[in-house]
Structure 1
Amino acid sequence: MLRDALLYDAAGRPIKQHHKVLSEDWDEIRAWSNEVYMPYHVAPTGKAAKPNSTMHSAQIGRIIVTRFGYGIPVDIKDWSQDAGNAVVLTTIGGNARHRIDRAQAADTGIGESFVVDCSRTDYHVDFDPDHLQLNLTIPHRVLEEICRDWFGFVPDDALWQCKTLIGGKNSSWLALMDYMARCIAEAPDRLARDRTGRHLEQTICIHLLNEWAARAGFDLENPRNGLAPRHVRLAEEFMRDHAANTPSMVEVAQAAGTSLRSLTLAFKQFRGYPPSQFLREQRLQGVRKALTATEGAGTVSQIANDWGFIHLGEFARLYKDRFGELPSRTLRG
C-alpha cells in the first residue's frame, strides 16, 4: 500500500494535486520543496545532473504528508532551522543514508523510518538513485503542544536533538503509516480540516513521540518531567533567549525569580543536571548553527567569541565532545 500512497483514492482514481507531480527542473522542485518542507541544499551525487522528480502531497491536520523522490542520487543538507519543522522520512523505495554525526550514519531500507527535528539540530542525508520517500513534515510547535496536553510538560533538547531510526518491518509505526495512507485514499480532501484529520494528527504525533523518546532514552512518563517548577522553565526560556550573552547563573536565577541555590537544586532534581550545563548546550548549538550557515563570512574564533567562548582550545574540546568533529570541520562543510 505505501508504494502507491497518495497516488490513488479508494476508488482507484488519481488523487488530484495542487502542484505538478513530475519535474526535471531544479528551480521548480526547489520552490515546491521550500514550500512543503523547508529550505535546504540539494546536489546530485552521480553522473546524472538532471532530476526526474516525482512529488505528491496531502495534509492531515497540521501534518504535511509527501511522496517524494528526485529520480537520481542526491545529497541533502543545511535544512533550515528557522522553518521550525521536524521530519519523519519513511523509505518506500531504494535506500537512504542519514548522518547522525561525522562518525555515525543510519541506513533506511524499504519500510524503515528516520526522525529528525530540523528546528533543533542539523541534518544531512544521502539518497541512492532508486530512493522514494513517504515523508511527514510536522511543525515543532505541534509536537510541543501535544507533549504539553498529553504528558504535562515540553521535553528539552535531550529529545529534540536526537536523530534516530524508528519503525521497520512488522512494526506498529509502519502499520500506522499504512493506515494513514488508507485514510488519505478514502478522504483525500477532508483530512486537512475535519475532526477525523485532527484525530489522526494527534494519533500520529503521540505514537511518534513515544517511539522517539524510547530511542532517545527519554522517559515521557517520568513524573519529574511534568512537575518541573515554573522557575526552572523560566530559567530555560531566559537561557535560550540570552545564550550568546553568556549570562551568569546569578542573572539566570534573578530572571527566574528565585535564588541560585534553589535554581541549582531544582535543575538537579527535575532535569538531572545543573543550569550551567543547559546554558552551555544552548551556546554550543548556537555556534554549530552559525558555522553551518557561514559561507566565508566568519572564522571559527569569531563565531566562538560571538557565543562567549574565549579560550579556543577548551571550546574546540567541548565542541568535539558534543558533535564528534572539530568546529573547523563543520565550517568547511
Structure 2
Amino acid sequence: MAQLSTGLGDLSRLQTLVDSSDLEETREIISHAYSPYQLDCLGDPREFAAWYAEDGFPGVTISGLRYGSAHLDAETLIKPQALETYLLVCQVTHGRVMVSRPGREEHVVGPGETYVLDPYRPFQVRWSPGAQMTTLRLDRDVVERAAADAFGVDGAVRARFALGGAVSPDAARTWGTISGAVHREVLGEGIARTNPLVATHLTQTSAALLVQTHRLITPVLDAGHTGLVAHSAVRRAMALVEERPDEPHTLADLASAARVSPRALQEAFRQHLDTTPLGYLREVRLRRAHQDLLTAGEDGSATVTDVAYRWGFSNLGRFAAYYRDRYGHPPSKTLSG
C-alpha cells in the first residue's frame, strides 16, 4: 500500500497483519491485536480497506494503521472496548480522525498531532478516507508507576488522560523526541530488541515523558491516601525558592524551574500546598525576615526597613501587614524584643 513512509520512519518495516478489503476479517484480526471492537464502513462497503502492521521490543509495541482510501469517500468508525491493560499514544500521519468519548470529549486530530487512549473509559474514532496513524503501546502498570513518580505518591496512580494532545508546543517537541527514538529502534532494528537494559530504559523514559507532556485528568489527591508528598514540579519550584528566596522570582521563573507551564504550577501548588507559587515564596521570605529581625533585635545589626528590602518587600506597609497576619504583631515588636 502507498504512504508507508512517514517522518517517524518506514512503516513497511513493520510486520503486516492486515492488508484487506474484508471488513469481517479486519475486525477479527485487529480485535485480537488490540481489544474487541465494533468496525463500520460509513459509506459504500466496497470502498472499505484496511492495513495494520506492528513490531516492537519488550515493553513497547509500535503499530501502523490505515482505514479506507484518500481517493474514495467512505469513512470508517471504530468503537473498541476498554483497553484494560495498556495505553495507546496515537499520532496521525495522514488525513484526520475525530476521537471522542461520547457525551464527554471530542477532538479532531490532524497530521503530526497526538492523542492518548487510556484503559479506563470507552471511546470511538471516526477516520477520514485514507487516514493513517502510528500507535505506541505502553503497559498500564508502567505508566501508572510513572504517574506516581511524577506526583510523588506511594503506589500506582490511575493515569487518565484528556484527548487534547500535548500540553504545549514545547511538550509536543519533547514527546516527539522520545517517540522518534522509539520508532527508530523498532523500524531501524535497534539494540532495544536484544538488550533488555536499553528496552527497559526506553520504556520507562517513554512513560515518564508521556505523563509530563500530556494532560492528566487523574484525581491524584485522595483524603484517605497516606504517604502523599508534593508533586515533583512543586518540589522543584520549592527548592529554587528555598535556595534563593532573595532573588526577584516571577511565576514564569518558578514554572521554568519546575519544567511545567505557569498554569500547571499554579494548580499543582493549589492541590498540594493550598497556596500559590508566589504565596509560598512570600511565606519563605517572611520566615527569613522573621529570623533576621530576631537576630537584629539582639545585636542591632539591621532595621525593619533593611530586613524588608533584603527579602524583596519593597512596600513597607504591605510587609508589615503580611508580617502581622503571619506572626500576630508588627515587625517592629520582634525587632524591639
Return the alpha-carbon distance in structure 2 between the equivalents of residues 191 and 110 of structure 1.
Answer: 28
Per the TM alignment, residue 55 of structure 1 is displaced from its structure 2 partner at its CA by 1.8
Partner of 1:34: 31
Partner of 1:228: 225
Structure 1 residues 96-131: Cα deviation after superposition (integer angstroms, max 9, x where no partner):
1111443642111110001121x2112111110021
CA separation of 1:74 and 1:184: change in aligned 2, threshold 3 A: same
SS in 2 for 1:110: coil
Partner of 1:80: 81
Structure 2 contact 96–109 (Cα < 8 Å) conserved: yes
Give 1:229's aligned amino acid: T
Partner of 1:91: 92
Structure 1 contact 87–135 (Cα < 8 Å) conserved: yes
- Choose the corresponding residue for 1:210, options 212, 218, 227: 212
The alignment-based identity, stated in percent, is 16
Report how many aligned residue pairs link the two structures: 220
Q: Does 1:3 align with 2:1?
A: no
Per the TM alignment, residue 210 of structure 1 is displaced from its structure 2 partner at its CA by 1.2
- Choose the corresponding residue for 2:202, options 170, 193, 200: 200
Per the TM alignment, residue 15 of structure 1 is displaced from its structure 2 partner at its CA by 2.7
Per the TM alignment, residue 217 of structure 1 is displaced from its structure 2 partner at its CA by 6.0
Return the alpha-carbon distance in structure 2 between the equivalents of residues 192 and 38 of structure 1.
Answer: 28
Structure 1 contact 81–120 (Cα < 8 Å) conserved: yes
Q: Does 1:57 align with 2:54?
A: yes
Partner of 1:44: 41
Map 1:66-145 onto structure 2 (within 5 A). 66-72=63-69, 73-77=75-79, 79-81=80-82, 83-102=84-103, 104-117=105-118, 119-145=119-145
Structure 1 contact 2–92 (Cα < 8 Å) conserved: no
Structure 1 residues 137-158: Cα deviation after superposition (integer angstroms, max 9, x where no partner):
223222223334564435655x
CA separation of 1:16 and 1:87: change in aligned 2, threshold 3 A: closer
Which one has the largest radius of gyration?
A: 2
Structure 2 length-normalised TM: 0.55
Structure 1 length-normalised TM: 0.55
SS in 1 for 2:17: coil
Return the alpha-carbon distance in structure 2 between the equivalents of residues 197 and 57 of structure 1.
Answer: 17
Structure 1 contact 23–53 (Cα < 8 Å) conserved: yes
Give 1:197's aligned amino acid: A
Give 2:20's aligned amino acid: S
Return the alpha-carbon distance in structure 2 between the equivalents of residues 193 and 21 of structure 1.
Answer: 29
Partner of 2:252: none
CA separation of 1:104 and 1:141: change in aligned 2, threshold 3 A: closer
Structure 1 contact 5–67 (Cα < 8 Å) conserved: no
Give 2:6's aligned amino acid: R
Return the alpha-carbon distance in structure 2 between the equivalents of residues 186 and 85 of structure 1.
Answer: 24
SS in 1 for 2:25: helix
SS in 2 for 1:171: helix
Structure 1: stretches of 5+ with no match in the other structure = 9-13, 232-268, 273-333
Return the alpha-carbon distance in structure 2 between the equivalents of residues 76 and 271 of structure 1.
Answer: 43
Partner of 1:256: none
SS in 1 for 2:13: coil
Return the alpha-carbon distance in structure 1 between the equivalents of residues 173 and 125 of structure 2.
Answer: 23
Structure 1 contact 53–70 (Cα < 8 Å) conserved: yes
Per the TM alignment, residue 206 of structure 1 is displaced from its structure 2 partner at its CA by 0.7
Structure 2: stretches of 5+ with no match in the other structure = 70-74, 229-270, 275-337
Structure 1 residues 62-109: Cα deviation after superposition (integer angstroms, max 9, x where no partner):
2221011122521111x2226423222110010011114436421111
CA separation of 1:50 and 1:181: change in aligned 2, threshold 3 A: same
Per the TM alignment, residue 230 of structure 1 is displaced from its structure 2 partner at its CA by 7.0
Return the alpha-carbon distance in structure 2 between the equivalents of residues 74 and 127 of structure 1.
Answer: 5
SS in 2 for 1:146: helix
Return the alpha-carbon distance in structure 1 between the equivalents of residues 194 and 37 of structure 2.
Answer: 25
Per the TM alignment, residue 16 of structure 1 is displaced from its structure 2 partner at its CA by 6.1
Structure 1 contact 99–124 (Cα < 8 Å) conserved: yes
More strand by share: 2
Return the alpha-carbon distance in structure 2 between the equivalents of residues 270 and 16 of structure 1.
Answer: 44
Give 1:24's aligned amino acid: S
Give 2:178's aligned amino acid: L
Return the alpha-carbon distance in structure 2 between the equivalents of residues 206 and 193 of structure 1.
Answer: 20
Q: Which has the higher contact order (CA 8 A, sep 6+)?
A: 1
Structure 1 contact 147–153 (Cα < 8 Å) conserved: no
